[in-house]
Amino acid sequence: MTSLSDIDHLIHQHGIVSDQVDTAELRVVLHELAQRLARQEGAIVEFGCYVGTTSLFIRRIMNSLGAAGEFHVYDSFEGLPEKTERDESPLGVQFKAGELSASKKVFMREFQKAGLALPVIHKGWFSDTKPSDVPDGITFAFLDGDYYESVRDPLRLITPKLLPGAVIVVDDYGNQALPGARQATDEWARAHGVKVREVQSLAVLCVR
């Protein structure tokens, strides 16, 4: 399940449960995940899971590869927080506090409908998440926080927990409507000497 054709088949077979995930971007996330798990197992974390489209496919990839590492998801389940100045863009006026809200119950229901094992679910704002809430030995992280602080805070939390060679994928890196995601990613990458590879509108970072 490490080839793009296998991943395309998986996406076609199961479909996408929300309009917040682009098929082209989803295949990038899953391909990076599958390649990473083929090299080294470890914990997987996802910050910003909404109704669970990406989470469902992460679990399917884990199952297909027999990966036994921990899988943790983090979300407020209350929608977007307030913007900061770093997030302001004339292209992003539709992004307001409370938008994209989905309950934890809805997320869990999608897993139950799919017959998949639930990840460990952490409900709360990323800024309130404690280091002890984050597993050690992270091999893959997907960050979909939209805003500057909602990307910066997870990066700070996961940094000391990353395995050598771990891969981080940040959503909305190339989205001009959400400039804070790029700024937070670039700041972290410069501070840690990590090169940013942009694919679709995603940032892919490989930790040394």
6 Cβ partners below 8 Å, 6+ apart? 34
pLDDT at residue number 94: 58
Structure tokens of 27? Answer: 């295949």
Neighbours of 60 (CB within 10 A): 19
Using the predicted structure, report yes or no on whether residue 92 has a pLDDT greater than 80. Answer: no
**Band of residue 83 on the pLDDT scale cut at 50, 70, 90:** confident
In DSSP terms, which residues pair with 188 in a beta bridge?
A: none
Question: For the CA atoms of 30, 44, 164, 173, what is the dihedral angle to 10 degrees?
Answer: 60
Task: Name the residue type at position 203.
Answer: A
Contact between 44 and 138 (Cβ < 8 Å): yes
- Average pLDDT estimate for 150-166: 98
Total structural domains within the chain? 1
Mean per-residue pLDDT of the chain: 91
Alpha-carbon dihedral of residues 81, 16, 72, 177, nearest 10 degrees? -30
Structure tokens at 64: 């297909």
Residue ranges making up the domain that contains 35: 4-206
DSSP 8-state secondary structure symbol assigned to residue 93: T
pLDDT at 95 over 90: no
> What integer is the mean pLDDT of 50-54?
92
pLDDT at 82: 74
* Pairing state between β 120-123 and 138-143: unpaired
Give SS3 for 98: coil
What CATH number should be reported for the domain holding residue 51?
A: 3.40.50.150
| Overall size of the chain counted in residues | 208
Of the pLDDT bands very low, low, confident and very high (cuts 50, 70, 90), residue 102 is confident
Whether the predicted pLDDT of 88 surpasses 80: no
As a whole number of angstroms, the distance between CA 119 and CA 70 comes to 8
pLDDT (average), residues 139-155? 95
The mean pLDDT value for 69-84 works out to 86
Cα(55)–Cα(142) distance, rounded to whole angstroms?
10
What pLDDT, on the 0 to 100 scale, is given for residue 139?
98
